[in-house]
Amino acid sequence: MPDKVFFLLPVFLLLLGCQKDDQPKPDELEGLMAGGGTTVFSTGPDAYTFPLANIGGYLGQHAAGDAAFEQAFVTAPAPQFGGIGPVFNQNACIACHVRNGRSAPPVHTGDPATGLLLRLSIPGEGAQGGALPVPGFGVQLQTKAIFGEMPEGTLAVAYKQEVVEFLTGEKASLQLPVFAIENPYQPLPVGVLTSPRNAPPVFGLGLLEAIPEAGILALADENDSNGDGISGRPNWVWDIKEQRTVLGRFGWKAGNPTAVQQTADAFNHDMGITNSYFPMENCQGQGNCQSGLSPGLDIDDDFVETTAFYFKTLGVPGPRGLDDEVVKIGRELFDAAKCSSCHVPKHQTGSDAISALSFQTIYPYTDLLLHDMGEGLADGRPDFSASGQEWRTPPLWGIGLAQVVNPKASFLHDGRARTLEEAILWHGGEAEASRNFYKNASKKEREAMVAFLKAL
Partner 1 sequence: MKFNHYLSVLAFSLFLASCGDDDTGTGTADYADVLANVGTNVFLKTYEDLKDRAIQLQNATAALEALPNSANLEAARAAWVAARSPWEQSEGFLFGPVDQEGLDPSLDSWPVNVTDLNNVLASSNALTVDFLKAQEGTLKGFHTIEYLLWGTDGNKQPDTFTEREYEYLAACAGALAADAAALYDLWSPAGGNYVKQVTDAGNGSNIYISQKAALEEMANGLIVIADEVANGKINDPFSQKDLSLEESRFSANSKADFADNIRSIQNIYTGKYGSGGNGNGIANIIKAKNVALDARVYAEIAVAIQAIEAIPGTFSDAVFNAGTAVENAQQQVRGLLSTLESEVLPIISNL
Q: Give the nearer residue to partner 1 in terms of CB position, either 113 or 167.
A: 113
Provide the mask over 8-37, with x wherever binding to partner 1 is found by CB under 8 A and - wherever it is not. x-xx-xx--xx-------------------
Q: According to CB under 8 A, which one of 97, 102, 119, 144 is a site residue for partner 1?
A: 144
Q: How far is the CB of 223 from partner 1 (least distance, A)?
A: 45
Q: According to CB under 8 A, which one of 91, 195, 235, 434 is a site residue for partner 1?
A: 91
Q: In 10 A of CB 168, how many CB atoms?
A: 13
Q: According to CB under 8 A, which one of 23, 107, 108, 112 is a site residue for partner 1?
A: 112
Helix (H, G, I), strand (E, B) or coil at 306: helix
Is residue 268 within 8 A of residue 284, CB to CB? The reply is: no
43 contributes a contact to partner 1 by CB under 8 A = yes
Q: According to CB under 8 A, which one of 42, 282, 288, 366 is a site residue for partner 1?
A: 42
| Cα–Cα distance measured from residue 447 to residue 22, given in angstroms and rounded to the nearest whole number | 25
Q: According to CB under 8 A, which one of 39, 54, 75, 195 is a site residue for partner 1?
A: 75
| Cα–Cα distance measured from residue 63 to residue 77, given in angstroms and rounded to the nearest whole number | 27
Which amino acid belongs to residue 444? K
Q: According to CB under 8 A, which one of 292, 315, 394, 395 is a site residue for partner 1?
A: 292
Max Cα separation, the chain? 71
Angle at 400 between CA 395 and CA 405, to 5 degrees: 100
| Cα–Cα distance measured from residue 109 to residue 182, given in angstroms and rounded to the nearest whole number | 9
167 contributes a contact to partner 1 by CB under 8 A = no
In angstroms and rounded to an integer, the radius of gyration of the C-alpha atoms of the chain is 22
The per-residue b/e assignment along 353-388, b for 16 or more CB within 10 angstroms, e otherwise, is ebebbeebebbbbbbbbbbbbbebbbbebbbbbbbe
Q: For the segment 218-277, give every residue that binds partner 1 (CB under 8 A).
A: none
Which amino acid belongs to residue 17? G
Q: According to CB under 8 A, which one of 147, 160, 169, 191 is a site residue for partner 1?
A: 147
Q: How far is the CB of 13 from partner 1 (least distance, A)?
A: 8
The per-residue b/e assignment along 330-350, b for 16 or more CB within 10 angstroms, e otherwise, is bbebbeebbbbbbbbbebebe
Provide the mask over 196-215, with x wherever binding to partner 1 is found by CB under 8 A and - wherever it is not. --------------------
CA 254 to chain centre: 10
44 contributes a contact to partner 1 by CB under 8 A = yes
161 contributes a contact to partner 1 by CB under 8 A = no
List of residues contacting partner 1 (CB under 8 A): 1-8, 10-11, 13-14, 17-18, 42-46, 51, 56-57, 59-60, 62-64, 66-67, 70, 72-82, 84, 91-92, 95, 98-99, 112-113, 144, 146-148, 292, 404, 406-408
